[in-house]
Amino acid sequence: MTAVLARIFGLHNMELAEDVVQEAFLKAIRLWKFDNIPDNPAAWLMQVAKNKALDIIRRQEYFRQYSSEVAVQLQQDAAGTIEQFFLDTEIADSQLRMIFACCSPLLKEEDQVALTLKTVSGFSAAEIARALMATEAVIQKRLFRARKLLQENHAELQIPIGAELSARLSTVYTVLYLLFNEGYNSQKADELIRKDLCVEAMRLCLLLSQHKAGNHPPTFALLSLMCFHAARFESRLNADQEIVLLQYQDRSTWNKELINRGYYYLNQSSAGDQLTIYHIESAIAAEHCIAPAFEDTNWLRLLDLYNILLEHKRTPLVQLNRAIVLAQLQQVKKAVEEVLHIDNIATLLSNQYIFSAVLGDLYYRLHDNTHAICHLRVALELTNSTAEKKLIGDKLKMIERGLNDRMA
């Protein structure tokens, strides 16, 4: 809704577009609270937004404030033009235009990502902060700064061409990747997997792949990666909403159709000689899907892939995942050393639960229960997820019970 209205009003009138969307939702709250929810809520909201937009457009003095692209059309036939903008094809095009506009080179990369997550996908500042590992106050500043720059520079909603398209595509991929990741491993206390966010990321990525602007190998590689991960949704939690680790997951519940789509898009991504992080990560995910059982996983092949990935993306999380692979190859002591040598590891251990959780598990596998307990307790305090707290807490109890039994 915001993307469509911003296309009509112009990017410089972003606040007006957001106000119209908010009014539509407020009207829904008033009218739906007595069980009067329409059969198609999304269409109802769109219709309300469209009517409100028409009311604004009919005020002649506003014509000069709209986007240059639609101003003349609006003056000629406001109602007909508005109707056109709410068609499915125009909605899709407007969303893509919004993504590329938010990824403008006028903005710093971190501002581009924050603005796109907020404007196109409806993330709250708190959700963006979690996705980008920043504070909510920092995200609010980024959003304000980004909107101000776009307004001051009269930025337009358009899909660029040539070299400018290639430059923006990189950030577009980052945004979609982060959006999917937030859904796949959400930090919401009561919801480990937010399927709505994953589906939104996949929908936008598919939309991008079907447009000439995004019909490129990295798009298909990213879409392939998403398909492989989404295929395991149903096996990651049990009936009690407790985490099921990869080695214990029932692979018969993995979505074969999504896995096949993953292979299809991975093949599509092989055109040309371009190799991106999405190609490598998709190949890693595919390796897990190929294995009929956890014990059959080709860990040597995975180590090779992580070595390649490190050359392109040397981040703490990639280094951590590589250490996990080393542990599976019975190199647990080396895995611990690798984790301890990650840049800024002390800060990561005290701020990001996953590093303490993995290190605690590695120490447990080395029979160093003292260090294992220490790190797992830190991880337990750092995570907000109920499911993750249960998993870490159960492991702590098991280790502490073993220590007590030996002491007795």
Given pLDDT bands bounded at 50, 70 and 90, which one contains residue 26?
very high
CB burial of 114-140 (b: ≥16 within 10 Å; e: otherwise) equals: bbbbbbbbebebebbbbbbebeeeebe
Q: CA 281, 283, 286, 291: dihedral to nearest 10 degrees?
A: -110
Given pLDDT bands bounded at 50, 70 and 90, which one contains residue 278?
very high
Residue 238: DSSP 8-state:
-
Given pLDDT bands bounded at 50, 70 and 90, which one contains residue 119?
confident
SS3 99: helix
**Per-residue model confidence as pLDDT tens digits over 191-210:** 778 888 899 899 989 999 99
pLDDT of residue 65: 58
What span, in angstroms and rounded, lies between the C-alpha atoms of 279 and 222? 7
Helix, strand, coil percent content, the chain, rounded in steps of 5:
75, 0, 25
Q: How many CB atoms lie within 10 A of CB 221?
A: 26
What span, in angstroms and rounded, lies between the C-alpha atoms of 160 and 53? 27
**Per-residue model confidence as pLDDT tens digits over 143-157:** 999 989 988 887 877
Given pLDDT bands bounded at 50, 70 and 90, which one contains residue 83?
low
SS3 277: helix
Residue 21 CA from chain centroid, whole number: 23
SS3 255: coil
What span, in angstroms and rounded, lies between the C-alpha atoms of 393 and 380? 7
Q: CA 282, 298, 335, 371: dihedral to nearest 10 degrees?
A: 100
Mean pLDDT of the region 243-266: 95
pLDDT of residue 73: 52
Given pLDDT bands bounded at 50, 70 and 90, which one contains residue 308?
very high
Identity of residue 34: F
Is the pLDDT at 406 greater than 70? The verdict is no
pLDDT of residue 85: 65
Tokens standing for 402? 């073993």
Residue 214 CA from chain centroid, whole number: 18
What span, in angstroms and rounded, lies between the C-alpha atoms of 244 and 208? 33
Q: What is the mean pLDDT of the chain?
A: 87
Q: Are 193 and 237 in contact (CB under 8 A)?
A: yes
E strand segments, 161-254: none
Of 20-34, 82-96, 282-296, the poorest mean pLDDT is in: 82-96
Q: Are 71 and 64 in contact (CB under 8 A)?
A: yes
Q: Are 289 and 224 in contact (CB under 8 A)?
A: no
The answer for residues whose C-beta is within 8 angstroms of residue 357's C-beta and 6 or more apart is 375, 376, 379, 383, 388, 392
Given pLDDT bands bounded at 50, 70 and 90, which one contains residue 63?
low
The answer for residues whose C-beta is within 8 angstroms of residue 220's C-beta and 6 or more apart is 209, 265, 266, 268, 269
What span, in angstroms and rounded, lies between the C-alpha atoms of 162 and 157? 16
pLDDT of residue 230: 96
Q: Are 165 and 360 in contact (CB under 8 A)?
A: no
The answer for residues whose C-beta is within 8 angstroms of residue 268's C-beta and 6 or more apart is 217, 220, 224
Q: Are 77 and 49 in contact (CB under 8 A)?
A: no
**Per-residue model confidence as pLDDT tens digits over 205-246:** 999 999 888 999 999 999 999 999 999 999 998 888 889 999
- Residue 191, strand partner residues: 188
Q: Are 151 and 9 in contact (CB under 8 A)?
A: no
- Burial zone of 355 (CB within 10 Å; 0-12 exposed, 13-18 middle, 19+ buried): buried
Is the pLDDT at 323 greater than 60? The verdict is yes
Is the pLDDT at 60 greater than 70? The verdict is no
Count CA within 13 A, CB hemisphere, residue 144.
6
Count CA within 13 A, CB hemisphere, residue 285.
27
The three-point CA angle 198-318-125 to 5° equals 45
